[in-house]
Copies of this chain bind each other. A is one copy, B any other.
Amino acid sequence: MIVAMQDQASDEAIQNVIERMVELGFNVHRTTGTTQTILAGVGTPASFDVNEFKVLTGVHDAYRISSPYKLAGRSFRPEGTTITFPNGVVVGGKEVAIMAGPCSVESREQILLSAQQVAAAGGKFLRGGAFKPRSSPYSFQGMGLEGLKLLREVSDATGLLVITEVMEISQIELMLPYIDCFQVGARNMQNFNLLRELGYVRKPILMKRGIAATIEEVLLSAEYILSGGNYDLMLCERGIRTFETYTRNTMDVSAVPVLKHLTHLPVFADPSHGVGKRNFVPPMALASVAAGADGLLMEMHPNPDKAMSDGAQSLYPQQLEDLIAQLRQLAPIVGRTIA
């Protein structure tokens, strides 16, 4: 930590800051300029709040200089994390992984058809919500356990892996027998109790960026899961909230290369939630892979116009097939492949 004192700060104020730094476990180096004193705190206390220093008497400003996350940092695993799934699919390697499927599981017929279409197009994971987080209590809330069973059944039939959203600690046990990967939704990215429990699970997790989460907060939330011992974690950019309303969110494509730079964890992109309108999903999927994404998470529905949720952003099956064909051509240009 660095504390820059105000010009002409009193010796007493400087001494007080130094004492507080030492209390926290820093070794303090003092630089005295003609007008300003700078205090460099060397060492890394487990936890401290840089804001506390900003309001101490005589302080101009204070800066944290070490990352507040450790396990999530790139330097923890410079070579990058790869995750191997039971059927041999590897995420985080050369292959770009495609996860697709409807927003919600609606019926056996709908999810089976979805799975067949995803598999035919070249997807490796079937996504589908069994429990749905909906802004309105009057909206469809998902099929629950029945939905989980259907996901498992149709995925086994089509050779896909299952990813579905977990919203609550009590759902973890319930889901374990049926799924291959937990998804933490944007609204739960700072549900720390849930994250902590998921750290104790031994199943891969894909955690979405919160709608107003900074890159640093994404990595701090990742740290919750990693510090529980679960290293099979993927991150996912899915659009942030800005002033622009034409698109559902503003997809921060730059989060892909930035996260790849800062962390060793695989980074996905979800263009469906990123833009919210299906016609803009293919260009944004291409953009995400061009920018270095390790995988894509997309909504597709056999009949989007009749979908019970998120129909507007769900691709038609043919769109998914065409898109993956195009992605297959693009991937090698950025050193990747799509099987």
A326 CB contacts on chain B under 8 angstroms:
333-334
Bound state CA distance, A244 and B211, in angstroms? Answer: 11
> Smallest distance from the beta carbon of A61 to chain B beta carbons, Å?
6
A77 at the interface (CB under 8 A from B): no
Stretch at the interface among A150-158, A162-170, A200-208: A162-170
Q: Which of B42, B167, B254 contacts A31 (CB 8 A)?
A: B42
Which residues of chain A from 189 to 240 have any CB-CB distance to chain B below 8 Å in the complex?
Answer: 190-193, 196, 210-212, 214-217, 220-221, 223-224, 227, 240
A321 at the interface (CB under 8 A from B): no
Q: Write out, one digit per residue, whether chain A residues 229-271 have a CB within 8 A of any chain B CB (1) or not (0).
A: 0000000000011111111101111111110010000000000
A134 at the interface (CB under 8 A from B): yes
Given A7-B75, A31-B40, A330-B330, CB of A243 within 8 Å of CB of B246: no
* Interface size, A (range): 35 or more
A289 CB contacts on chain B under 8 angstroms:
290
Given A190-B133, A250-B252, CB of A286 within 8 Å of CB of B291: yes
A339 at the interface (CB under 8 A from B): no
A250 CB contacts on chain B under 8 angstroms:
240, 242, 250, 252, 254
> Smallest distance from the beta carbon of A11 to chain B beta carbons, Å?
18
Q: Write out, one digit per residue, whether chain A residues 22-63 have a CB within 8 A of any chain B CB (1) or not (0).
A: 000001010101101010101100110101101110001101
Specify the chain B residue showing the minimal Cβ separation from A210.
B212
Extra inter-chain contacts (5) besides given A33-B42, A54-B277, A287-B291, CB under 8 Å: A2-B38, A4-B63, A136-B223, A214-B244, A247-B254
Interface CB pairs A-B, < 8 A, 21: A4-B65, A31-B40, A38-B40, A47-B136, A49-B311, A51-B311, A52-B305, A52-B311, A52-B312, A137-B223, A215-B246, A244-B255, A247-B254, A250-B252, A253-B253, A253-B287, A258-B280, A261-B279, A283-B292, A287-B287, A290-B290
> 8 tightest CB-CB pairs across the interface, nearest first?
A212-B212, A33-B42, A287-B287, A4-B65, A290-B290, A286-B290, A29-B31, A51-B312
